[in-house]
Structure 1
Amino acid sequence: MFLDATNIYMIKRFTTSLANSTMFTTYAIYYITALGLNPFELLLVGMVLELAVLLFEGVTGVVADTYSRRLSVIIGMFVLGSGFVLQGIIPVIEEWLPFVSVMVWLLLSQVFFGVGDTFVSGADTAWIVDEVGEEKLGSIFMRAKRYSLMATLLGIALSVGLSTLAPNLPYLIGGLIYLGLGVFLILFMKETGFVRKERSETSSHLREMTSTWLSGARVVRSQPILLLILLVTLFTGAASEGYDRLREAHLISEIGFPQIPSISMPMWFGIIAAVSALLSLVAVRIAEKRLDVNNERVVIVGMFVLTGLKIAAVISFAFSPSFEVALAALLLIGVIDALSSPLYDTWLNLNIESSVRATILSMMSQSNALGQTAGGPAVGWIGHRLSIRASLVVAGILLAPILVVFGRVLRKR
């Protein structure tokens, strides 16, 4: 069976989205009701995850640029799968080793999650760009997003069903999906566009990797647009950590769900995620047909508008007086994120040279992780001292500097 690079990339995006939606649709029920985490502990879990990303992202990105993007992606799949399976079996481990805190195992699983993610982030994008070229990047990323959203719909149903049986099952199944994808990529993923740098006999592995990292750093320093993108990712990370970790807690503890006996809490989360995915699928399809997503100016204007809308939606969600208003804000944020992701990936990759692509993409992820590591605990502390609403307002405000950056880029162009 022959599968070209584009098909492999679409399968990879579909499968990881299926696994992620299976795990993360109902993860709040597992964390809050089964493991009993409070808002500060939720942010602590996120901080450990982002700290692992921050520490390892630079190293793994250099591995992808120095040795092999394919190898980096495959390693990441197995590390991620192992971490998610560990999260899924925490209740079993707790019975075997009751003297070890649940938080210890949960934080250890986040380290696996973070390290595995660093092997994949940057490497998978650098691989597909090298295999197919830069001419149709926007179209490929939009198509991949569409496949991801279709997989998300399947994963939502799977997540709700598994969570109803046992709240830890989504993580166990999601981890096994990642492990299976790793085996698939070993068998079918090829690497023809990447040319490994020739290594001199006197050069050590460490020296070679250091040289690659320094080359990437010089590229970022010499191009103002990349410095601006770093700033965008920093504030995006600081804002996203608070919103991503606390939105479910806000729904559960401060807004509440309509009292309909036939709809359980896992079902509510599944319904919200499914409607969000469907609306996002429609929005992405319209953007594919109506917008020239391979045009950089169109991409920047789109991100400027979407960022402004997201600030308004996050603050609206924080002050929602009812479930209906909160639901509308959540759905709008879901659509905005679905459209922003491929636009950002296109903008970034159009401004990076191939030889250090994975390294620079990893630097961008490090910037995002730094924002989340620094911003997450601060936002969580505000939620612990004041309220979750206050945390969400701060998360929305943290997006404001990004509007300034996009405005500056547009004026220059």
Structure 2
Amino acid sequence: MNKKIPQLSIYLIYTGAAAFFFSLVFTVNQVYYIEILELNPFQLVLIGTVLETSCFIFEIPTGIVADIVSRKLSVIIGLVLMGIAFIAEGSIPLFITVIFSQILWGLGYTFTSGADEAWIADELDGRNLDGVYLRGAQVGQFGSLLGILVSVVIGTVRVNIPMIIGGLSFIVLAIFLVVFMKETKFKPASTERNTWKQIGYTFSQGIKFIRGKSILMLMVGMSLLYGLYSEGLDRLWTAHFMQNIGFTKLIELKPVVWIGIINGFAMVLSILVVQYVKKRMNKTGEIKKVWMLIPINILMVMSIVLFGLSGNFSMAISMYLTFYITRIINGPIYRAWMSKNIKSEVRATVLSTYGQIDSFGQIIGGPLIGFIAVKTSISTAIVLSGIILSPIIVIFIYVYGKYQSRETKGTKL
């Protein structure tokens, strides 16, 4: 029976369903933490720090499972672990349960990370992967939007129910893949790889290549700054709306509905913006990308600071959406510029190193921002997040100056 379903269709079903289930959980989980568990800002940020640490620690070992045992098995294990984590989180309203669930779902996520894309690449013999991944992303976007809507509707009854349903759905998806997912072209990698040394080796090799080029050294600082500011803001923006700002009185809606509206509207805007940016990217040279990144990051910093200082809903929502959109725009332009400056033969290693540095920043910056929020206020902590990010502007201006100097002298950066 499973032979009648093309594996590309299975991949698209998996991608759309996973995005839908994630949205079921993530649309309401921050409201659940604040309303039901009554967590303070430090606890909110600590949740993200535990999750990020879990993903960081387990990324390489679980990746080895996908490479030497089975892509299919790795994805199925990951889905089951995430399902159990979300069921536990939504069923037992305790902070310690939430912490445990972050460790478990971080572990589960790393089992799926990369294994799903590697699986479909194997089954399709590497044909038309750009188109396949783009279709998967588009299906995922639709699934996420639908998930936000369903989560809000169910969450108005009880805010934890979407989390439990999302968890159960991940397990059902795993069972579906057991039956319908084929793995006919998988070739195990050598079992001689040392899983625990791989992280250190990747990091050290990345640093070795980075040290030889000034522009790559500057990107180390950028990666660290992007990590340091982000975790605290991502975990505190919902609390800032619910506890400090409130929502407009023109329409009486529950907080879970307002958060769903904000998330949904921001996602629709981001889809439109990313499509526009993609069309412009191919026509934009390297120096132009840096020039674009300067005002984008200025707007990011300003919107974060003004969001923290906002005293009313109108200003807060406009500043949050401004930050959200500029962050979305920044992503592809920054990654394209970064990749352009890294030699092809070392690109994966160096990008992985930058990812590890970003993770370090999140692990360090999250608790710091959370501690500041507890000792002062959430508003102050958010403003501090913007201040932490602000040196990125100086770095981009410096890099732009270096590009101009290079063009004048005809030398390499």
Scaled to the shorter chain, the TM-score interval is 0.7 to 0.9
Separation in 2, partners of 1:64, 1:405? 38
Is residue 2:30 matched to residue 1:28?
A: yes
Relative to the length of structure 2, the TM-score reads 0.79
The Cα shift of 1:289 comes to 3.3
Separation in 2, partners of 1:231, 1:141? 30
Contact 2:121 2:129 (C-alpha < 8 Å) held by counterparts = no
Q: Which amino acid in 2 is paired with 1:382?
A: I
Separation in 1, partners of 2:291, 2:241? 32
Q: Which has the higher contact order (CA 8 A, sep 6+)?
A: 1
Contact 2:91 2:160 (C-alpha < 8 Å) held by counterparts = yes
Cα distance per residue 1:25-70 (max 9 Å; x no partner) = 2222211111111112212222222232233234234444555555
Structure 2 unaligned blocks of 5 or more: 404-411
Give the direction of change, closer, same or farther, for the CA distance of 1:264–1:217 in structure 2 (3 Å limit): closer
Relative to the length of structure 1, the TM-score reads 0.79
Q: Residue 373 of structure 2 aligns with which residue?
A: 383
The Cα shift of 1:121 comes to 3.4
Is residue 2:229 matched to residue 1:239?
A: yes
Q: Which segment is superposed worse, 177-186 or 322-331?
A: 177-186
Give the direction of change, closer, same or farther, for the CA distance of 1:310–1:383 in structure 2 (3 Å limit): same
Q: Residue 105 of structure 1 aligns with which residue?
A: 97
How big is the alpha-carbon RMSD for the aligned residues of Structure 1 and Structure 2?
3.8
Q: Which segment is superposed worse, 291-300 or 28-37?
A: 291-300
Contact 1:77 1:179 (C-alpha < 8 Å) held by counterparts = yes
Is residue 2:213 matched to residue 1:221?
A: no
Give the direction of change, closer, same or farther, for the CA distance of 1:319–1:404 in structure 2 (3 Å limit): same
The DSSP-based 3-state class of the residue aligned with 2:156 is helix
Q: Which amino acid in 2 is paired with 1:152?
A: S
Q: Which segment is superposed worse, 124-133 or 227-236?
A: 124-133
Equivalent in 182, 185, 195 of residue 209 of structure 1 = 195
Q: Which has the larger radius of gyration?
A: 2
Q: Residue 53 of structure 2 aligns with which residue?
A: 51
Contact 2:7 2:181 (C-alpha < 8 Å) held by counterparts = no
Q: Residue 393 of structure 1 aligns with which residue?
A: 383
Q: Residue 255 of structure 1 aligns with which residue?
A: 245
The DSSP-based 3-state class of the residue aligned with 1:398 is helix
Separation in 1, partners of 2:117, 2:297? 23
Separation in 2, partners of 1:180, 1:15? 10
| Percentage identity across paired residues of the two chains | 34
Q: Residue 408 of structure 2 aligns with which residue?
A: none
Give the direction of change, closer, same or farther, for the CA distance of 1:257–1:217 in structure 2 (3 Å limit): closer
Q: Which segment is superposed worse, 40-49 or 386-395?
A: 40-49
Q: Residue 82 of structure 1 aligns with which residue?
A: 84
Q: Residue 95 of structure 1 aligns with which residue?
A: none
Separation in 1, partners of 2:399, 2:49? 31
Is residue 2:312 matched to residue 1:319?
A: no
Separation in 1, partners of 2:127, 2:219? 18
Corresponding pairs, count = 393
Give the direction of change, closer, same or farther, for the CA distance of 1:343–1:170 in structure 2 (3 Å limit): farther
Q: Residue 281 of structure 1 aligns with which residue?
A: 271
Q: Which amino acid in 2 is paired with 1:270?
A: G
The DSSP-based 3-state class of the residue aligned with 1:223 is helix
Separation in 2, partners of 1:297, 1:49? 36
Separation in 1, partners of 2:125, 2:326? 27
Q: Which amino acid in 2 is paired with 1:220?
A: G
Separation in 1, partners of 2:5, 2:209? 39
Contact 1:145 1:338 (C-alpha < 8 Å) held by counterparts = no
The Cα shift of 1:296 comes to 7.3
Give the direction of change, closer, same or farther, for the CA distance of 1:149–1:109 in structure 2 (3 Å limit): same
Q: Residue 188 of structure 1 aligns with which residue?
A: 181
Q: Residue 173 of structure 1 aligns with which residue?
A: 165
Contact 2:202 2:352 (C-alpha < 8 Å) held by counterparts = no
Give the direction of change, closer, same or farther, for the CA distance of 1:78–1:252 in structure 2 (3 Å limit): same
Structure 1 unaligned blocks of 5 or more: 92-101
Separation in 1, partners of 2:35, 2:118? 40
The DSSP-based 3-state class of the residue aligned with 1:117 is helix
